[in-house]
Amino acid sequence: MELRSVLLIHSDEIGWGDLRALLESISGLAIAGEAGDREQALRLAASHRPEVIFIGETLEGTCAASLVAALRRGPCPDSAVIVLARRIDPDNLREWTSQPVNISAYLLWSELSRGLLERCLTVALSGEIMVISQVVARAVVSLLQAEARLAEAARWLTPRERALLPWLARWELSYVQIGAQLGIDADTVKAHVRRIGEKLGTRGGRAAVVEAARALGLLPATGRGGEQGGW
């Protein structure tokens, strides 16, 4: 293997010492630098033009996908980018698997070994294939299935029905109070709830509708349901 320069981008030291030792044990790799924040990462990438970048899934408390997109637009359009995640976060995974980011591998820290890294690097440096484990693959499939269910559910709801959902998630409001906010009576609110329930496949009333909407991603998983709009 010809000598490949490697850049490490991380926000903490947990696990990175072990990764560094694994990489140093693989012939043909040279660690060119280590960055602890976005600014340093961009500066080192411009200086060293690394062929391989290892990056933690989050940097400075947020998903690091935007940094990788910036590296792609700037000094590292063709670098193999390997993302290391502590756990599978569906929201972050959605960003990492988007086309503009274009990563070479998405691995869990718990899966790391010298053998895995060697195989991963061989594949990542050879073409357009993205390397993921079976665990991550199952998560990607679940994510795609959930998005398909969301798109189908959203397609059948009317704009008014979608606008009503955040109001229903505000448990401190009664049907009468929700109706007053929207300029309709309580019976009309109840009728909308029944129709929404039928479309979302539930007949358990307001609580079941809100739960189904959250499961489908039509409402945030927790909280008051997001910003309420007009009718």
What is the per-residue pLDDT for 222? 67
pLDDT in tens, the chain (231 residues): 578 999 999 987 789 999 999 999 999 999 999 999 999 999 999 999 999 999 999 998 899 999 999 999 999 999 999 999 998 888 888 888 776 788 999 999 999 999 999 999 999 888 778 888 888 888 878 877 777 776 777 788 999 999 999 999 999 999 999 999 999 999 999 999 999 998 888 888 999 999 989 887 788 876 555 556 667
Domain count, the chain: 2
Same domain, 54 and 164: no
CB 54 within 8 A of CB 8: yes
CB neighbour list of residue 108: distance below 8 Å, 6 or more residues apart: 84, 85, 86, 87, 88, 133, 135, 136
What is the per-residue pLDDT for 135? 86
The whole-model pTM stands at 0.65
Burial readout 141-171 (b: 16 or more C-beta within 10 A, e: otherwise):
eebeeeeeeeeebeeebeeebbbbbbbbbee
Same domain, 109 and 166: no
- Give the domain extent around 94: 4-141
Rg of the chain over Cα atoms, rounded to whole angstroms, equals 23
Pairing between β-strand 105-108 and β-strand 80-85 as defined by DSSP bridges: parallel
Same domain, 126 and 92: yes
